[in-house]
Chain A
Amino acid sequence: MIEVEELCVTLGRREILSNVGFTASAGTMTVIVGPNGSGKTTLLRAISGELASTGTIRINGRDSRTMKAFELAALRAVLPQATALSFPFTVREVVGLGLNGASAKLPPEEVERLPEEALRRVDLAGFAGRFYQELSGGEQQRVQLARVLCQVWSPVTQEGPRWLFLDEPVSSLDIRHQLVIMRLAARFAAAGGGVLAVLHDLNLTAMFADKVVMMHDGRARAIGSPSEVLTDDLLEDVFECRLGVGVVPPGPFVLPQSATR
């Protein structure tokens, strides 16, 4: 369980988040939506302990601010919105970085197997020997996801459920891989872990989210199930754009829900 209460973040002189509060349960996927600049990334960064903030943040009942970096790392993995990598690491080496803290405790066979298994799950089997910098944007994004998966490989441990924080995990993926990754996250949640994801795609949100937090101007404007939050009026209010929820627009379109495979 992640509990956030009265969370405020100030960057520079601006208050970016004001009094944000919500809870996210293990075993479910909580999706944060909202327009550009509404504070989604800031919210995720504050919860992951990267930004100074005021208010309460509890992960599995513990005050996250009293936890050390390695304790947090054992509990949650974070996929940032963008990752730069210096130095020419191979894909395998990048994914292996996810095992950084844990590899001392894992048997050597696992250290060897997990990166390959993680790459297979993000549909990058056989990419281990390639150089990261030589991959396409979408492939790089999936490599980073594989790294993050390695860090919290088993969704539940003795210390309780573990968490995936994903900031726009499918932003540069094609439609098939969007589904691959979203299903991967859903499976992580189904196995008892918790997923907290920022998404721009409202269709995927409606399809996969158990709970939606809609951000607007640094506040949580609405919290609830997809059907409660994704309404015509709220969307118009927040995105300043009249959208008909559930109304088929004219012209050709492809619905991700239509996939049968």
Chain B
Amino acid sequence: MTLDILLPAAAKRRSLPLGDRSFVAKATIVLLALLLLATFLFSLTAGASDVSPLPLLRDLVFGGGEVSARDRLIIGDIRLPRAVLGSLVGASLAVSGAVMQGLFRNPLADPGLVGVSAGAGLGAIIIIVLGSGVLAPVIAPLGIYALPFAAFFGGLLTTWILYQVATRRGQTSIATMLLAGIALGALAGAVSGILVFLANDAQLRDLTFWGLGSLAGATWVKIAAAGPIIVAALLAAPFLARSLNAMALGEAAAHHLGIPVQRMKLIAIVTVSAATGASVAVSGGIGFVGIVVPHLLRLLIGPDNRYLLPASALLGAVMLLLADAISRTIVAPAEFPIGIVTAAVGAPFFLWILLRRRGVLDL
């Protein structure tokens, strides 16, 4: 019965049309969803204090006292928010990457590449360094929301400037936007550098840890601040899928196919900057998820964004939860910044994509 729902009509007839990968894609999405569930549960159990998964599951589902009060505290207040935040951030990074790649028609495009992450980072750094000094009166009322909001607006501002620079008479030039993004990213980096230079020792430690990317500070409050933005962006992304598919043929052809190209680009840009800004605010610079995840999935299920976007969200969440588990266990009881884990895996992968791009098929 359940299988009937899962299997599309085409598969039941046992003859999949030639070149139609939608069945593989749907099956992959189902598998990834199960994988995410398992990874999520695993990440609740992994760490300095060992809690085995089965008692935990029984405890979560049926209640009862199999898990000690201390462990329950660790899971409820530390690991659960961390796993939730990790899933949200992972999904958001991967989907941002996939949307941006579709928009730029380039498999190497990524919010990190066009300066959106750098802009969001600058916003966060301003708060960390100047928050207790010059800006104190302004941000005091915002409390702990100051950081996420600053990063979000930093990302949005960068994207907005990017859009203004790259858009003439309603036409956005992707090439100009990429180049402008590199320049803006460098500029944001330079200003960030000046602020880092001004920072005191305590701020510097904060900055370093944040800049390397970490989920260590995950709290329900952070989730409340960044979660809604991320969820909204994740829900908006699938509506862009058909438009992004058409964009693979170029802007003109997308217009011919009935896509309102300019409006769609604007929506895509706002979606990406919202998701990226919110993610950077709560987790710092976690790189390469946005490039690695969609690329792997494209090899597996093809570039159709109707399937690529949900699959990216799921695999992005899985990858980040695994990277976080590694970062927590590899030097336990100390922690390793997760950004280093993703970069150590992602950067070689990025180079591998560049090398393979010399072929025909590996876009």
Contacts and interface: CB of A to CB of B under 8 A. Distances in A.
B261 interface: yes
A45 interface: yes
Interface string A124-139: 0010111101100000
Contacts of B298: 87-88
Interface string B240-264: 0010011011101101111111000
Contacts of B362: 88
A9 interface: no
Given A87-B303, A134-B361, A93 B21 contact: yes
B256 A50 contact: yes
B10 interface: yes
Contact of A129 (B18, B242, B260, B360): B18
A88 to B, nearest CB: 5
A94 B249 CA distance: 9
Contact of A85 (B19, B242, B248): B248
Interface residues of B, number: 34
Interface stretch (A22-30, A96-104, A208-216): A96-104
A83 B253 contact: yes
Given A100-B242, A133-B363, A45 B252 contact: yes
Given A69-B259, A133-B363, 4 more contacts: A70-B260, A100-B245, A128-B17, A151-B257
A89 to B, nearest CB: 6
A95 B169 CA distance: 31
Contacts of A128: 17-20
A108 B245 CA distance: 19
Contact of A97 (B9, B10, B246, B363): B246
Contact of B10 (A70, A88, A94, A112): A112
Interface of B: 9-10, 17-21, 105-107, 169, 242, 245-246, 248-250, 252-253, 255-261, 298, 302-304, 360-363
Contacts of A131: 360-361
A256 to B, nearest CB: 29
3 shortest interchain CB distances as A-B pairs: A73-B258, A92-B19, A87-B303
Nearest to B106: A86
Contact of B253 (A80, A89, A112): A80
A116 B19 CA distance: 10
B319 to A, nearest CB: 21
A73 B302 contact: no
Nearest to B261: A69
Contacts of B257: 73, 97-98, 100-101, 151
Given A78-B253, A98-B257, A134-B360, A89 B248 contact: yes
